[in-house]
């Protein structure tokens, strides 16, 4: 089997429709804005179904990405030449199992919410990050940035389940949240271990993580306020090994982006008047 496949090789059945990252970022209809899943909003059902479909898409690509990392790199201690620790491969296989369960859970929850697979378009940005040639970048981009995002999303959906009186949702999201904390910890542990003697590589990987975090700020929609569409789960992120400083950086980057967008919108409305 070939190692290091292209992200376009990702196989899907016919019910799914794919959108490239380029298409998504150049879409003039602000599709990056995910919106707050407000339990009191009129369209809460639609928003929640869309969010749950997004969770499923994230989980399946995380499964596929972890699988590729388990396969693509041989076990060994020559980290500079593409080998990775045997135990890291074991952790990736473990992550495959966890993500497979998360897919099963999100499929059942989506059905429970009246949604169906393929109802929304699939963006492959997560899998693209999981196809990086350097395993350390995969750990930074997927396990730390995107699994970190999953911590935020699951915490928020668990709280949404509490607010809407849905114990099944609360139960499932809480189990998935526990797994995601473990996956972020794995990422932090192996990123440190593999780059122990290569500070430049570590620095570049962390820079890549910031880029991925920036892309998933959803045009500045991450924040710590209750009404933030994606609320940063500081407590669980710290449990997973993030420092307060790292969470502050994500929050500040999102706030800056939000301010810039608001300024643009204000300028546009003044010009229109």
Partner 1 sequence: MASSPRTPFAPWDRRELPGKFTVEETARRVGHYKWFEMRMFELMAGWIATIPELDIKLRLGTHSYHHAFHSELWHKRLPELREMNPERKTVAPNPELEAFVTELGAPEGDDKTLEKLVGMYRVALPAVISTYTYHRNNTSKITDSPTIRSLQFCLNDDMEEWVEAEMTIQSLITDADDARRAADRQAELTTLLIAAGGIAGPGSVGSFDLEES
Map tokens 């378009």 to a residue. 121
Of 20-28, 31-39, 83-91, 204-212, which segment contacts partner 1 by CB under 8 A? 83-91
The answer to whether 1 contacts partner 1 (rule: CB under 8 A) is yes
The answer to whether 109 contacts partner 1 (rule: CB under 8 A) is no
**β-strand pairing of 122-123 with 222-223:** unpaired
Nearer to partner 1 among residue 74 and residue 114 (C-beta): 74
**β-strand pairing of 230-231 with 222-223:** parallel
What do you get for the CA distance between the two ends of the chain, in Å?
Answer: 61
The answer to whether 117 contacts partner 1 (rule: CB under 8 A) is yes
Cα(30)–Cα(218) distance, rounded to whole angstroms? 10
**Cβ-contact 109, 52 below 8 angstroms:** yes
Nearer to partner 1 among residue 35 and residue 67 (C-beta): 67
The answer to whether 57 contacts partner 1 (rule: CB under 8 A) is no
Nearer to partner 1 among residue 94 and residue 162 (C-beta): 94
Q: Angle between the 199-215 and 167-194 helix axes, to the nearest 10 degrees?
A: 150
The answer to whether 100 contacts partner 1 (rule: CB under 8 A) is yes
Of 43-51, 100-108, 145-153, 248-256, which segment contacts partner 1 by CB under 8 A? 100-108
The answer to whether 272 contacts partner 1 (rule: CB under 8 A) is no
Query: Binding residue for partner 1 (CB under 8 A) from 48, 52, 55, 63?
Result: 63
Cα(267)–Cα(71) distance, rounded to whole angstroms? 50
The answer to whether 72 contacts partner 1 (rule: CB under 8 A) is yes
Cα(218)–Cα(184) distance, rounded to whole angstroms? 20
**Cβ-contact 205, 196 below 8 angstroms:** no
User: Which parts of this chain interact with partner 1 (CB under 8 A)?
Assistant: 1-3, 5, 9-13, 60, 63-68, 70-72, 75, 86, 89-90, 92-94, 96-97, 99-101, 103-104, 117, 127
């Amino acid at each position: 089997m070939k190692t290091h496949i292209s992200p376009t090789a990702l196989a899907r059945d016919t019910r799914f429709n794919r959108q490239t990252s380029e298409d998504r970022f150049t879409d003039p209809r602000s599709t990056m804005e995910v919106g707050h899943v407000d339990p009191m909003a009129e369209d809460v059902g639609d928003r929640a179904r869309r969010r749950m479909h997004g969770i499923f898409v994230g989980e399946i690509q995380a499964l596929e990405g972890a699988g590729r990392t388990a396969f693509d790199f041989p076990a060994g201690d020559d980290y500079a030449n593409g080998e990775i620790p045997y135990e890291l491969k074991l952790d990736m296989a473990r992550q495959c199992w966890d993500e497979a369960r998360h897919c099963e859970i999100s499929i059942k929850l989506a059905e429970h919410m009246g949604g169906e697979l393929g109802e929304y378009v699939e963006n492959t940005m997560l899998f693209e990050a999981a196809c990086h040639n350097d395993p350390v970048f995969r750990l930074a981009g997927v396990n730390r940035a995107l699994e970190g995002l999953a911590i935020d999303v699951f915490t928020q959906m668990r709280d949404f389940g509490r607010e809407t009186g849905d114990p099944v949702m609360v139960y499932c999201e809480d189990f998935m949240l526990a797994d995601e904390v473990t996956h972020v910890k794995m990422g932090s542990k192996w990123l440190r271990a593999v780059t122990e003697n290569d500070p430049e590589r570590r620095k570049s990987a962390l820079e890549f993580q910031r880029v991925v975090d920036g892309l998933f700020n959803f045009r500045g929609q991450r924040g710590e306020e209750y009404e933030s569409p994606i609320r940063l789960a500081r407590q669980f992120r710290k449990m997973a090994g993030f420092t307060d400083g790292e969470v502050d950086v994500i929050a500040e980057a999102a706030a800056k982006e939000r301010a810039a967008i608001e300024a643009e919108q204000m300028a546009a409305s003044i010009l229109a008047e």
